[in-house]
Structure formats: C-alpha cells, structure tokens
Structure 1
Amino acid sequence: MTPITPRRSALYMPGSNLRALEKARGLPADVVILDLEDAVAPDAKAAAREQVCAAVRQGGYGAREVVIRINALDTPWGQDDLAAAAEVAPDAILIPKVSSPEALVAVGTRLRRLRTPVRTRVWAMIETPLAILEINAIAGAAHDVDTRLSCFVMGTNDLAKETRSRVAPGRTAMLPWLMTALAAARANGLDILDGVYNSLEGDAGFRAECEQGRDCGFDGKTLIHPNQIAAANEIFAPSVGDVERARAIVAAFALPENAGRGAIAMEGRMVERLHAEMAKRVLDLAEAIRRRESDSQS
C-alpha cells in the first residue's frame, strides 16, 4: 500500500515575490505551490522562473512538498517553464489547463527526455469544461507510468469563468463537477485537492467550504493566503474523536472472537469490515500528519 502523504493545505506562493518564496520555508502548509502562472504578470514571467528555480535549488522547505505550477504549455512561457522545472526537480510539477490524457503523455515524454528524476511527479489542474467531460480518460493516464500523474487540483475559478456559473456560498453549481472529478480521481488511485476560497475575510465562510470539501472526500484545499493554513490543517485532519473511534473499530475486529465476522455490533451500531478499512486509513493519516509535523519542527 502506498504511504499516505498529508496534503491538507496547499498554499500558492507568487513566484515573482522573493520574500514570499523565503517565507514559505517557515509556514506550516503541507504543500507550497510556487506559482509561475496566474500570480505572475506577463512581463515578470522569465524573472519569476529563474527566481523559483533558484529557490528550489536552495531548498530549505523541510518536510513540505514543493510544487512548481508552470504556465500552460500552449503559452509563450509554458515549454520553457517545463524545461526549467524539470531541471531543478521539485516534488511535483503542476500543469494548468489539462483537458486530455494526451497532454499528460506529452509532458511525461518531455520529462523522460530531460532525464528528470522519477520522484518528480505530475499534478494536473482540472479547470475547463472539456476536462470535466474527459475526466475519466485524464485520470486514467495515471496508469501509464510515464505520465507520472499523481494528483488532481481543482481550478474552480477558471471553471466558473468558462462555464459562466456563479461562485456562491455552498457552491451548488460547482458540486456536480467537483464530485465527478473526485470520483474519477479515486477510481484511478489519485489524490485530489479542492479549489481556492477567494475571500480573505469571513473565517466562517472559509471553514464551511473546507468542511464541505472534507465531507465530499477531498484530501485538502488549495489556499491563497497563509492565514488560511491553520483552519485547513485542522479540518482536513482526523479529529481526536475520529482517531478514538477508529482505534476502537480496529481493536474490535482484532479480537479473536471477531476474526471470522464480516460485521459486528458496536455501541448500538452495525460495523462492517469496510468500516475497519476506513478506520485504518484514519489512523494512517493521523500518523502521517504526526510525522510531518514532527519533521517540520526538527
């Protein structure tokens, strides 16, 4: 079984802002996404690319996953971004505007030719109507090891723009697309991160959207400000009560008298072996978070 990697909080940091790149080394985010795309003005793209690659070479990000989001490959900067990111070999390269599996095959082929270490994975932004319509084929590209695909990232702002849907509390219009992408991710063994929350004010709204994403099944949330990290880390982690219940379920099925049973009664509820598997994942996630936080403090 593949070890769990906590991705509760994935913070976008503008690649053109040197101070932000340095600050990211001390933030408690699970993932830092060094952004060459939306956060960078056209006339600053080349300088941002050099700055981000220098920051990755320098390191110092500790246990955090470091991801470079490049510009779309059909833009004037995309191919140069991909080559530069491939050379410095971050934990992952985030590809915008992925709307077909062929795009990921092309990326994987380029990375192989550039001899990028296989530990550098590919993440895909899901942010176009065509991506939603082709989502299972895109997710299925993960079965081709050359694509290196390991995670989806929802681009909810671009989805709203392209579909002309309103970004509103509760995300009623967006939920079918979010859940379609999530189902495709899970069917093909991928992690998936929820889109950003646009307002920097109104903690209750941000928490509500994190809780919605968690309940839908997302692994974490992409963020636009360091002030959002703490809430995302809390909400996408198992609570103390979650861990206690999980331990009780695992322990109950470990008893000799329950060895051959498919279901048992616990506290007035029927608990099946699938619940024991779910409980084991809760415990594994809690332990992975504990290790991540311990490594970050050391």
Structure 2
Amino acid sequence: MKAPRKYFEPLAIGAPRPLLELPFRLERMIHFVPPHNEKLRAKAGELVSQVDVLLGNLEDAIPIEAKTAAREGVIAMARATEFGTTGLWVRVNALNSPWFLDDMTRLVGEIGDELDVVMIPKVEGDWDIHFVDQYLALLEARHGLKRPILVHAILETAEGVNNVASIAAASPRMHGMSLGPADLAASRAMKTTRVGGGHPDYRVLADASEPGAARPSAQQDPWHYTIARMVDACAANGIKPFYGPFGDFSDPAACEAQFRNAFLLGCAGAWTLHPSQIAIAKKVFSPDPAEVAFASKILAAMPDGSGAVMIDGKMQDDATWKQACVIVELAKQVAARDAGYAAVYQL
C-alpha cells in the first residue's frame, strides 16, 4: 500500500500534481459520439450547448476496420470544437486490445490540454487503474501538460464489481465509474440480451391467498444491487457514480424509469447514446422543482441543521437537513448552467 504522503505525488518527473479535489462539473448526461462517422461528428458543435459531457467513443460499437478512423476523428473533433463548460471525454479501447497504446499516446500528445477524462472499459481491479495512472503521468510529462487527465472506470465484469471498492480508491486521478450492464450481464452469465433496464421475467410473485386466485406480480430491477455497491464505493472515495447505457431507443418511458432509479440511488448522470435520451437525462438528473422548494423550506427553518421542526406535517431533523443540502446544492449547480431551471428553482 502506498504511503499516504505519497498518494498525491506526481508519478513521473515533470507530470502535473494530482488533484486534491475533483473540479466542479455538472455531468447529467455523457453523450456518446461515434467519431469515425463524419456526419455525426460534424454535429459536435451543436451538441456542446445541449449536453454536459461529449464523449468520443473508440471502443464498442466501433468496427475493427474503423478504429483508426475513429481515433483520427476524435482528435479532429476536439480541435474543431469550442467546448466551453462542456466536458470532453474519450472512451479508449480496452487495456488488452491492440489499439489502447496508440489511443493513449495520440490523445494525450495531440489533444491532452482539451481532454478532461479518459474512460477505461472493463476495469477488473485497482491494478488496471495503477497502470493507466502511471502511463498517463509519463505522457503528461512528455507533452508538458499543466493539469492531470482524470480516469473514469466502467464496471462491466464480475471481477470488476467484486473489486469495486479498491478500484474507487486506486488513484487521486479517479473521476468516477459507470455501470456497463451489457458486458456485465455476459460476464455473469445472466440470461438476457438487453442493454440495461429491467426484464419482464425478473419478478416477484405475491403469496397465494387461496387456490386458483389471481396472484399479483411486479417486475424488479436486476441492476439495483450493483448500482448500490458502485454508489457506496464512489461516495466513500469522493468520486462520482453513473448509470451506463440504455439500449432500447424506442422505449423512452423505460429509459426514464431506469435513469430515475439510478438518480434516486445516488448516481450523478447516465450515458446517452441517442439524441432522444439527452432530454430524458436532463430531466431526471435535475432535481424536481417541488423537491427543491421543500428542501429550501427545511434549510430556511433549520439554518444550522440542529434541532427538529415540523414542516407541512412532517418532522425534520439533522438527517433530513443533510438530505435537503444535497438537493439544494445540486439545484444550484443545475441553475448555474441552465437558465430555464434557474428561473424555476428561484435560488
């Protein structure tokens, strides 16, 4: 185990010093762009005003014959686009792939100053993060970067979920992690071909009241356990948890329900793979105005968080005060970026 005093030392001579705290960014949606597709890549300039994070995808969904074109495309997109307060991320190819080294050397060398976060797929343990951490430090030192590039891990194997706590604590470079439900389902031998969301056969059945009587049943969320483990690991280490992809673009209601489950459990945002999902993520991961108004009442009634008060017939104490702080702080972050929400929240 690394000594605490050395945890925040640069890992290469001349590399930027690791951050003590994550920089503030609203990240309700991480919008994926396939950069090998010139037509879609050309829309990046329009998208930066609509999304919190724009991500160039180099891994899954990019054909093998298009890997090089995708890498060139994301570099071109970064150079041609003014991102402002919108984050620029890249999902590189997996650590065991033949494209990973070129992804990293080209990205850091050519657009390192613009790149905020590198998303690493199929992270299995802290050893993966240690390798990326060291390699990024060497590249940052070589190219004279002034700020460190952060790392975001995707949980998409059973081993990764098993090691989620050590992954979250592996490096001060850690930004957060996302659930990758499709690859994780395959890793676990789950019997589904869906990309995220529930399954109609994953249900609980009410006890039989009498022979032959109808028995109500309800569909359950097969990802609840994993999301909760990820949220706990991230919260304990001061990094951010995210829900990953929802693959059924024809079912916005189910997408919204899955995003909302993740939001309520503590996730900061979700991936958006189709433009129709941007508005869903924006709605879900921005707190409800009624919740913000009630939370503001709690803070006004308990300025220092001590004691207990009754508001609208409900008892409030220091625990609900802390909950109210979470909601109001998020509302302030949303209002700072979105004038529409600022008017509604009245903060």
TM-score by length of 1: 0.90
Counterparts of 1:261 and 1:36, CA distance in 2: 50
Amino acid at match of 2:334: I
Amino acid at match of 2:282: N
Decide whether the 8 Å contact of 1:123 with 1:149 is kept in 2.
Answer: yes
In structure 2, the residue matched to 1:30 is: 52
Which consecutive residues of structure 2, in runs of 5 or more, have no partner in the other structure?
A: 1-20, 200-218, 340-347
Once structures 1 and 2 are overlaid, which stretch shifts more, 13-22 or 86-95? 13-22
Report how far residue 113 of structure 1 moved.
0.8
Amino acid at match of 2:164: I
Correspondence 1:166-181 to 2 at 5 A:
166=192, 167=194, 168-169=198-199, 172-181=221-230
Which consecutive residues of structure 1, in runs of 5 or more, have no partner in the other structure?
A: none
Measured on the aligned residues, the alpha-carbon RMSD in Å equals: 1.9
Decide whether the 8 Å contact of 1:24 with 1:61 is kept in 2.
Answer: no
Report how far residue 61 of structure 1 moved.
2.6
Counterparts of 1:177 and 1:264, CA distance in 2: 36
Counterparts of 1:181 and 1:171, CA distance in 2: 19
Matched, 1:113 2:138: yes
Matched, 1:85 2:107: yes
Residue in structure 2 matching 1:94, options 108, 119, 137: 119
Report how far residue 250 of structure 1 moved.
1.0
Matched, 1:269 2:318: no
Report how far residue 282 of structure 1 moved.
1.8
**C-alpha distance 172-283 of structure 1, shift in aligned 2 (>3 A):** closer
Matched, 1:39 2:88: no
Q: How many positions carry a matched residue from both structures? A: 286
Counterparts of 2:272 and 2:264, CA distance in 1: 18
Matched, 1:228 2:277: yes
Cα deviation, 1:11-44, whole Å, max 9, x if unaligned, reads 1111211222221332212111110001211111
Amino acid at match of 2:158: P
Decide whether the 8 Å contact of 1:25 with 1:62 is kept in 2.
Answer: no
Decide whether the 8 Å contact of 1:94 with 1:123 is kept in 2.
Answer: yes
Matched, 1:66 2:95: no
Decide whether the 8 Å contact of 1:265 with 1:271 is kept in 2.
Answer: yes
In structure 2, the residue matched to 1:153 is: 178
Counterparts of 2:331 and 2:226, CA distance in 1: 29
Report the identity percentage.
29
Counterparts of 2:272 and 2:310, CA distance in 1: 41
3-state DSSP of counterpart to 2:95: coil
TM-score by length of 2: 0.77
In structure 1, the residue matched to 2:39 is: 19
